[in-house]
Amino acid sequence: MAGLDDVFGDLFSNVDAAALFSPSGSYYERFVEVDEVDVIVVGTENDVSAETFVELPLEFDNISDRIRFGLEGALNQDIIEDGDTLACATSVFSDDIDTVSRVRADADSHTGIYDLFARSRADPEVIKSVLELAIELGQKGQKGKPVGALFIVGDAGKVMNKSRPLSYNPFEKSHVHVGDPIVNVMLKEFSRLDGAFVISDAGKIVSAYRYLEPSAEGVDIPKGLGARHMAGGAITRDTNAIAIVLSESDGLVRAFKAGELILEVDPEAY
């Protein structure tokens, strides 16, 4: 009579490595003793002193994002190769590892999530808060109508020097930060108006209604995207900021860094 090992054995057969997401010391030690598989630890801290480690800049609540980040980080660090098959063990229902996924590493499906969070100047939690705000705006719009928005995150001093005000800055003397629910309501309301939001590395709302003035020369954005995307891409080429753009026309959220599009998210599929 078949047992569970016979039914689930295919999950673990012919894998090139096991990726353990924030494992306990005892769990990690059990895997290290398995000779035929390489072990990769992925987490915010290398608490188990793993030899092969991919650092998470934050704890991703979404399991798919967590695994995608780990795989992209491992590919980026040449820990694994394109086409490798991994058994990814992580926690979903408790603090302990309780779920295993069989995933194939695919360099062609690179999402940019690793570059966005791990290699940006701004605090990862700030980037996450702005990205989630843009996605929520894309899902719900403003008062039921589609809106566009442009958020420039990080290197705020240089961004302010390369832009000018379109109107009175409602955040000029304030000390509010993105991620606060009340502040997010304000940002959604102001998103109806022209101009970019400028946000510091630490998440302080520096300004709204900014007209970005970098040259668009040499910035390559996909066809069909307009001035908002061009301005966002250009300012990230000239500064160490990232740009998160919600398109009013197609509803997608895009992130630019160093003048290049590195991430595209459909809010309805998030």
CA 270 from chain centre, in angstroms, equals: 12
CATH superfamily of 120-269: DNA integrity scanning protein, DisA, N-terminal domain (3.40.1700.10)
Show me where the domains of the chain are located.
4-110, 120-269
> 27 by DSSP, 3-state: which?
helix
Give Cβ neighbours of residue 153 (< 8 Å, ≥ 6 apart).
Answer: 120, 122, 126, 127, 130, 199, 201, 241, 242, 243, 244
List Cβ<8 Å contacts ≥24 apart for 194-197.
194/166, 195/150, 195/165, 195/166, 195/167, 196/150, 196/151, 196/152, 196/163, 196/231, 196/232, 196/235, 197/149, 197/150, 197/151, 197/152
- DSSP letter string, 114-136: HHHHHT-SS-HHHHHHHHHHHHH
Q: Which CATH number fits domain 4-110: 3.40.190.80, 3.30.920.30, 3.40.1380.20, 3.30.830.10?
A: 3.40.1380.20
Mean pLDDT in the chain?
87
- In the block, which residue shows the tokens 């306990």? 24
DSSP symbol at 95: S
Give Cβ neighbours of residue 186 (< 8 Å, ≥ 6 apart).
Answer: 170, 176
User: pLDDT tens digits for 146-162?
Assistant: 788 999 999 999 999 99
The per-residue pLDDT for 1 is: 47
DSSP symbol at 181: H
User: pLDDT tens digits for 110-121?
Assistant: 777 888 888 899
Instruction: Give the chain's residues under pLDDT 70.
Output: 1-7, 35, 141-144, 270
The per-residue pLDDT for 270 is: 64
The per-residue pLDDT for 2 is: 58
The per-residue pLDDT for 156 is: 96
Q: How far apart are CA 129 and CA 173, in angstroms?
A: 22
Give Cβ neighbours of residue 188 (< 8 Å, ≥ 6 apart).
Answer: 133, 136, 137, 142
Which tokens is 216 given? Answer: 């668009």
Q: What pTM was computed for the model?
A: 0.79
115-to-84, 123, 182, 258 alpha-carbon distances in Å: 21, 13, 29, 11
